[in-house]
Structure 1
Amino acid sequence: MPPTDAPPDLTRAIDPATLARFSADLSALCDPAHDRVLVAVSGGPDSVALLLLTHALLGERCIAATVDHGLRPEAADEAAWVADLCAASGIDHAVLSGELPERTGHTANLSARARALRYELLQAHADAVGATQIATAHHADDQVETLIMRLNRGAGVGGLAGVRARSGRVIRPLLGWRRAELGAIVAAAGIVAVEDPSNVSDRFYRARLRKQLAAIDWIDPSRVAASAAALADAEDAIVWMVRQLGTDRIAADGDSLMLDPRDLPFELVRRLVEQCIRQIDPAAEIRGSALVRMVKALESGETAMLGGVAAVALSPAAWRFRKAPPRRLL
């Protein structure tokens, strides 16, 4: 059960050096002098620290929202605690809730569905209150966990770019901050933040990984975050290159698309093939391993199918993609 008493001044213990550091990080992602920022606050120490820093810097242009996914009975109390915390300092706050999206495909697990609902609700609320940015409290330790989880799944460059500092109007100004630093900001303000039991439950892969990482002292999260940023830059460069190549290497031919993959690195061919599939079947569920199998089959001169798209290698310079015929019912 979270505490019920909120301190009267949320920002009294933030020292000028800490605030100046945050100001620089926020300024790299938005315009603190004019933007209205919606802070996503779960009640945990990371998001409360983000709230304290943002409010100290932006004043009334800092607003807050807490998403109650309806997955835990304690969540309503935690949201109410955040509401009290915000009310004590005059921060506009709302509790957001909605129905989880239906499970679709192989990867739509509970965490993914909750994340989809969370961002959908935050985007809608940002529109309603005129927020220009949505800030979340992902930090350097989160980045390490994310990269290791994705390495363990065999992710490519895009996955290893980790958590992005910016995704549309969602910004993450704390990616250079450690979890302990954020906890210290909250403790200095005299706040005992909410602890989500799922963060320490062995039922969840991330929580188990977090416990293992706590015993390792040779990983430098700031360096890992720098590597993730470099990979994000590399991913952006590849996306730009594929967009340019698509105009030269993909052509419409009646109801088909023709791709010329000659002399291109495998990764560029793979992405061009994915582009063809998505143009023909925007709803296609494309798993990385299945996409690799399709490309290898086409390189071998074979036919292949993925989603609702059939592909055939007419020659090394001409791969045809078209909508697959409907399957016959037995």
Structure 2
Amino acid sequence: MPSPTPDPALVDRFRADFERLIGRALEPDERIGVAVSGGPDSMALLLLAHAAYGARALAATVDHGLRAQAVEEAAMVHRQCEAMGVEHATLWPDQPLQGHAGVQARARAVRYRLLGQWADELGIAWIATAHHADDQAETLLMRIARGSGLAGLAGIRAVNRNLGPGPILRPLLTWRRATLRGIVEACGARFALDPSNADTVYDRTRARALLHATDWLDPERVARTAANLAEDDALIARLAEEAWNDRAEASNRAVAWRAEGLARPI
């Protein structure tokens, strides 16, 4: 018989992963926002966040107006949240997205803007999304195919402060897709599958197919590579900022740079 809450060991793991990203335990008066599309990954995130933080976890679903099924999917999420006692909101853009060119990127920008506004209005400190290790591996393969530099190869950032008013957290980046699907099924929660995830017109779908077709590409290890590259990118950025603050003098007309004492290139 399905359990209404995830395995306690998985809840503890989630809490540890979430609080590692914020660098401390969640305060009793802090609220977190959970982005829930209705797919199995985000439904698992909802179940884990609610089990870990109770009423401090709120949920939101963005309906971009791109698919007729999205209306019922948002309603399904609302019913699930209602049954769990989770506060839920469905968010819509002011104007529907038009055209197919770059629609996923445009929808992503709209999604984070709406989530940021929602969080700001409700005093939510953190927004969590359900990106996981398989997503990270797919992203890295896509970036390699595009010839990305270090920042691109770092993939999906565990903490991103550049997408809206507040930080976006990805506490599931070390979790596998199959584990999340197992949580949803064990809890007996309903979920929806987005048909666009199987559309080979998208790079991500092709990257996913490549991972499934090979037995030597381990998504967890590929995702770990992206995490290592993210650390390298952050270190280089920090060292560059320190060097700039220490050695650069900028005016309206010029920048002076003190090179004395810098190590020579090897």
Is 2:46 the partner of 1:51? yes
Distance in 2 between residues matched to 1:50 and 1:253, nearest whole Å: 49
Once the two structures are superposed, the pairs formed by residues 12-91 of structure 1 within 5 Å of their partners are: 12-30=4-22, 31-34=25-28, 35-91=30-86
Distance in 2 (CA, whole Å) between partners of 1:233 and 1:252 is: 29
SS of structure 2 residue aligned to 1:134: strand
| Residue 191 (1) aligns with residue 189 (2) | yes
User: Could you list the runs of 5+ residues in structure 2 that have no partner in the other structure?
Assistant: 162-166
Q: How many angstroms does 1:110 deviate by?
A: 1.7
* 1:203 correspondence with 2:201: yes
Inter-partner Cα distance in structure 1 for 2:264 and 2:197: 41
Bigger fraction of residues in strand: 1
The residue type paired with residue 14 of structure 2 is F
Bigger radius of gyration: 1
Matched residue type, 2:51 = A
Instruction: State which drifts further: 142-151 or 251-260.
Output: 251-260
- Alpha-carbon separation, structure 2, partners of 1:99 and 1:210: 32
| CA–CA separation in structure 2 for the residues paired with 1:182 and 1:217 | 21
Partners of 2:146 and 2:95 in 1: how far apart? 25
2:164 matched residue in structure 1: none
Change in CA separation of 1:113 and 1:223 when aligned onto 2, cut-off 3 Å: same
Query: Counterparts of 1:248 and 1:27 in 2: how far apart (Å)?
Result: 33
Counterpart residue type for residue 119 of structure 1: Y
Match of 1:98 in 2: 93
Question: In the superposition, relative to structure 1, how do residues 248 and 87 fare at CA in structure 2: closer, same or farther (>3 Å)?
Answer: same
Residues 100-179 of structure 1 mapped to structure 2, 5 A cutoff? 109-168=102-161, 169-179=167-177
The TM-score with structure 2 as length reference comes to 0.86
Distance 1:264 1:154, change over 3 A: farther
The answer for the alignment partner of 1:227 in structure 2 is 225
* 1:87–1:174 distance in 2 versus 1, CA, 3 Å: same
TM-score, scaled relative to structure 1: 0.70
What are the Cα deviations for residues 203-224 of structure 1, in whole angstroms up to 9, with x where unaligned? 2111122122112222222222
Checking the alignment, whether the CA contact within 8 Å between 1:11 and 1:53 is kept in structure 2 is: no
Match of 1:280 in 2: none
Tell me if the contact between 2:17 and 2:172 (Cα under 8 Å) persists in the aligned partners: yes
Instruction: State the one-letter code of the partner of 1:192.
Output: R
Unaligned runs of 5+ in 1: 1-9, 267-330
Post-superposition shift, 1:256?
Answer: 4.7
Counterparts of 1:11 and 1:42 in 2: how far apart (Å)?
22
Per-residue CA deviations over 1:21-67 (Å, capped at 9, x if unaligned) read 21211121233353311000000000000000000111111110000
Paired residue type of 1:130: G
Structure 2 counterpart SS, 1:42: coil
Instruction: Decide whether the 8 Å contact of 1:45 with 1:193 is kept in 2.
Output: yes
How far residue 261 of structure 1 moved from its aligned partner, in angstroms, is 8.7
How many Å separate the matches in 2 of 1:217 and 1:27?
A: 33
Q: Which amino acid aligns with 2:89?
A: A
1:44 aligned partner, one-letter code: G
Alignment partners' CA distance in 2, 1:151 and 1:91: 40
Separation in structure 1 between the aligned mates of residue 39 and residue 33 of structure 2, nearest angstrom: 16
The separation in 2 between residues aligned to 1:88 and 1:265, in whole angstroms, is: 64
Alpha-carbon distance in structure 1 between the residues aligned to 2:223 and 2:211: 15
Q: What is the one-letter code of the residue matched to 1:65? A: A
Higher helix share: 2
What SS is found at the alignment partner of 1:28? helix
Query: 145-154 or 217-226: which moved more?
Result: 217-226
Deviations 1:185-239 (A, max 9, x none): 1111112310011111112111122122112222222222222221111111111
Question: In the superposition, relative to structure 1, how do residues 156 and 100 fare at CA in structure 2: closer, same or farther (>3 Å)?
Answer: farther
Q: Which has the higher contact order (CA 8 A, sep 6+)?
A: 2
